[in-house]
Chain A
Amino acid sequence: VNDRLRRSLVRIGAMAAKETQHVLRDPRTLYMSLGMPVVLLFLFGYGLSFDLDRIPIAVEDRDRTESSRALVDALTASGELEEVARAGAGEAEALFRRGEALAALVVPEGYGRDLSARRAARIQLLVDGADTVVANQVLSKADALVRAEARRLLGPDLSRRPPPVQVQVFTLYNPEGRSALYLVPGLAVYLLAITAVLLTALTIAGEWERGSMEQLFASPVGRLEIVLGKLLPYLVLGILELQLVVAFGAVAFDLPIRGSGPLLFAFGVLFLVGMLGQGLLVSVVAKNQLVATQAGALSALLPSLLLSGMVFPIENMPSVLQALSRIVPARYLVHALRGVLLKGNGLDVLWPDLVALLVFAMAVIAIATARFQRRLA
């Protein structure tokens, strides 16, 4: 028995060596699994952000008094709101359509008079609501600037008094609120899903398509050995990728590793095994590479991006999608990675994630092998 096992391992090793050569020969595969993560991390870390530094606005001062000029100065002095046009609400929409301004401020006539009469002085802000993310920022920035101006108008003695209730805010795990720390674990999961599902689905679907799978079956290599041999290099590639992403995150963005390294590794391997099983299943069902890529993208990439909580919080989704997200393995890995890396959680907190990943991996591999056997019969 021992001898049979040894020989079987040799055959698996041979298959794996052949597949490894395939991977190494096409630099694109390597770039995709090892170069792309670095490029994406770089983009996420340095290029992409939700926060606008300068928001172009149009300003119409119908009051033309000293106080109205002071207000416009106060709102635009910091440059966060930048006056790009002198135009009123009437022309504002034309500016919005051309993307030249994102908001229009109108100071109505009588602003200065109302202020000195101690009546509430109203100013209008018309915001381009088409881009919801930007509109929210415009609203909160304008609100903060107007409050500051109102405080200044209170006069020195009133504005310097401490507010009656002070709120002290402590932020745990990511005190500077850097979005890279939030995005990197999610990005790692996404990239792992791509490597594991799509690359395996493609390579095995390619063998079916070319008919070389049947040739392989005629060889002395067992069927399970073929599959294991083909999947092994991608498991290794996935593990390398996970380490690369975490290491790059740690070096470039000070991503902390507060929990246990081996636990992180265990989560990664378990997730990869499930994803490789899914890739195998996709290839068996799809039979050709074109269908396999689209089916892989639909069943693995989109759920991993949308329903995993990597960018879009699961708590905000309607309950149907929240329920659906429970069968998306990426959800559990995203939660586990954030827990291990940022919070320093251990198994006492994360065991449900481990169980879920284990159940998914076993289920998908059982289904995939069953379909694989039936396909051959």
Chain B
Amino acid sequence: VSAGLAPSRPSARVQLASVFRKEVFQTVRDRRVMFLLMVAPLVQTVVFGFAVDFDVDRVPTVVVDLDRTAESREHARRLLADRTLAPVGAAAGMAEAERAIDRGDAAAALLLPRGLGADLLAGRPAEVQVVLDGTDPNRAIVAGGAVSRYFGELGERMARERLAARGLPEPARIELVPRLAYNPELRSPPFMVPGIAAMLLVIVTTLTSAMGLAREREMGTLEQVLVTPVRPLLLLVGKMAPFVVIGVVDVMLLVGVGTWLFDIPIRGSPLVLLAATLVYLMTTLGVGLLISTVSANQQQAFLGGFLFAMPAILLSGVMTPIRAMPDWLQLVTRLNPLRYFVEVMRGVLLRGAGLADLWPQLAALVVLGVAILAVATSRFHKRLA
């Protein structure tokens, strides 16, 4: 450095390191922020993992047994022994049973008509009725299906016995032998927890970075730093770097808790997962930056972040399958970085997929990440100029 001239800028590395150090200090010093960025996602994953269970079982059922024979009692007992339905009492008549459904004490009522036992023994066609609480359609379908299946199988068994009794040959039978790959018990957590991790990363990184930058704009500190020799681009990278670290740590934490608490396997390569996480963070932080450039204050930044996060979560396949969406909506999901990250997470953890299977998703994330960051940085520069 020659004396008499304006002091030259420190090297890029030094600039970057000092911004990074300052940002890390600032983030770590505020215990509440650290708690919210590290502990909160963990708590949410645990609660979510236990709360989300799509399996319908123990549907509270009242039995209206008008037949009152040993036969009818036996069928009611066997039907309710299967865990899908759970008995919550008996009612004298259908009106009483419907009142129980109205009050919410029961969600299904089973009516066994007078003469059911005698009809079954004589081989006469009989009819049972099920009344369901339809407010939860999924539960209603499962409960109705359990009753239909029980009596359907009973009917098939009786028909076969009748043929055998008459000395006729047994009819042809097809047996479907299902085998479930990856998750033989079909537990919900291995499916849901990777999706939750992707969801929480949006909240932790996009919302926090958008609000953090909006706060600097609000307080005018961004302009102050720009007077110093730090280049705007390096300032930006330094500000984003702590979030990348937090995001990666969060993913490791969540996957760790998932394997420990919910027995989620890690069948594929953790490196692919790490690469996907880094590229995915590029997109979420890019969106955060973009939102901060169109927000005058933190409240606006929060709203902007939320307006991005809600549809992105709904259109990611975390909750409902993408294949079940109409075609035009499936096209929209192709622009959603969350979708690709969820696919990579589930592919690597559950299916043991590798780069050979998941390169399209990774490529899509790279393209989206570069595009979003390019737009966001150019807008950031324009705002500062």
**Interface residues in chain A, defined as those with a beta carbon under 8 Å from any beta carbon in chain B:** 26, 28-29, 31-32, 36, 39-40, 43, 46-55, 71, 92-94, 96-99, 115-116, 118-136, 139-140, 142-143, 146, 149-150, 153-155, 158, 161-175, 177-179, 181-182, 194, 198, 202-203, 206, 286, 289-291, 293-295, 297-298, 302, 306-307, 311-313, 315-318, 320-321, 335, 338-339, 342-343, 345, 349
Is the Cβ of B321 less than 8 Å from the Cβ of A52?
yes
**Residues of chain B lying within 8 A (CB to CB) of residue A290:** 33, 208, 211-212, 215, 298
- Minimum CB–CB distance for B96 against chain A, Å: 15
Residues of B within 8 A of A317 (CB): 50-51, 53
Q: What residues on B are CB-neighbors of A179 within 8 Å? A: 137-138
B93 in the interface, Cβ–Cβ < 8 Å? no
Q: Using an 8 Å CB-CB cutoff, how does the interface string of B286-310 with A read, 1 for contact, 0 for none?
A: 0000000000011110111011001
Residues of B near A134 (CB, < 8 A) are: 321, 323
**Cα–Cα, bound, A133→B297 (Å):** 41
**Contact A127 to B179, CB < 8 A, known contacts A167-B151, A316-B56:** yes
| CB-defined A-B contacts under 8 Å, sample of 7 | A48-B314, A163-B155, A289-B298, A290-B215, A290-B298, A342-B135, A349-B103
Provide the bound-state CA to CA distance between A136 and B351, in Å.
17
User: Which residues on B sit within 8 Å (CB–CB) of A52?
Assistant: 321, 323-324
Chain A CB within 8 A of B385 CB: no
Contact A171 B140 (CB under 8 A): yes
Residues of A within 8 A of B154 (CB): 164-165
Q: Is B36 an interface residue (CB 8 A)?
A: yes
Residue of B nearest to A343 (CB): B102
Q: Are B352 and A97 in contact, with the CB atoms below 8 A?
A: yes
Say yes or no: B186 contacts A313, CB within 8 Å.
no
- A313 vs B175: C-alpha distance in the bound complex, in angstroms? 33
Cβ A121 vs Cβ B311 within 8 A: no
Instruction: Pick from A123, A128, A171, A198: contact of B175, CB below 8 A.
Output: A123
In the complex, whether B275 has a CB less than 8 A from a CB of chain A is no
Closest B residue to A348 by CB, please name it.
B103
Kindly list chain A residues whose C-beta atoms are within 8 Å of the C-beta of B60. 315
For B192, the closest partner residue in chain A by CB is: A132
Alpha-carbon gap, A47 to B119, bound state (A): 47
Residues on B with beta carbons closer than 8 Å to the beta carbon of A154: 171-172
CB nearest to A290 among chain B residues = B211
Among residues of A, the one whose C-beta sits closest to the C-beta of B37 is: A294
Which chain B positions have C-beta within 8 A of A94? Answer: 357
Within the complex, the shortest CB–CB distance from A314 to chain B, in Å, comes to: 9
Contacts of B306 in A (CB 8 A): 32, 194, 198
Identity of the chain B residue whose Cβ is nearest the Cβ of A163 in the assembled complex: B155
Could you say which of A28, A116, A158, A312 contacts B303, with CB atoms under 8 Å apart? A28
